Amino acid sequence: MQPEHLDQVLVIEKSSFPTPWTRQAFDYEIQINDFAHYIVALQDNRVAGYAGMWIILDEAHITNVAVHKKHRSRGLGKALMLEMIKRSVLLGAERMTLEVRPSNTTARHLYTRLGFAERGLRKKYYTDTEEDAIIMWKDDLVGMLTCNK
């Protein structure tokens, strides 16, 4: 992800989340935060989706994944996650975590198919709706890459 992608990323962000991240938040992540790694998927030179993570020691933490509504249900979310997994392994991560809304059944299904397991709950994590967050973990990232080639 580069600064020139942010206008398109923000359109996807606003249509995907009740409380979207700001330009400043993304700008900080891609230009200042040394722990952050962000990618975009391009279709005809347009951003079709994006994903971000932090790498801290041997753990990867997915911060966000979103796909433009006209590109959904085509495997792009899975491709973005597999790319993040690949990059996290190359950067030394052994396991990966993320939070997801209980109401986001599509994302939960994807993460489960990729081998993530529900391991906890963050009460009222999403301040916009006071919805809890399900904490999911995947411990064997290298094995995940081997199984999903």
Active site residues: 99, 111
Q: What is the per-residue DSSP string for 90-147?
A: HTT--EEEEEE-TT-HHHHHHHHHTT-EEEEEEEEEETTTTEEEEEEEE--HHHHHHH
Q: How far apart are CA 30 and CA 63, in angstroms?
A: 12
Q: How far apart are CA 89 and CA 60, in angstroms?
A: 9
Q: How far apart are CA 10 and CA 2, in angstroms?
A: 13
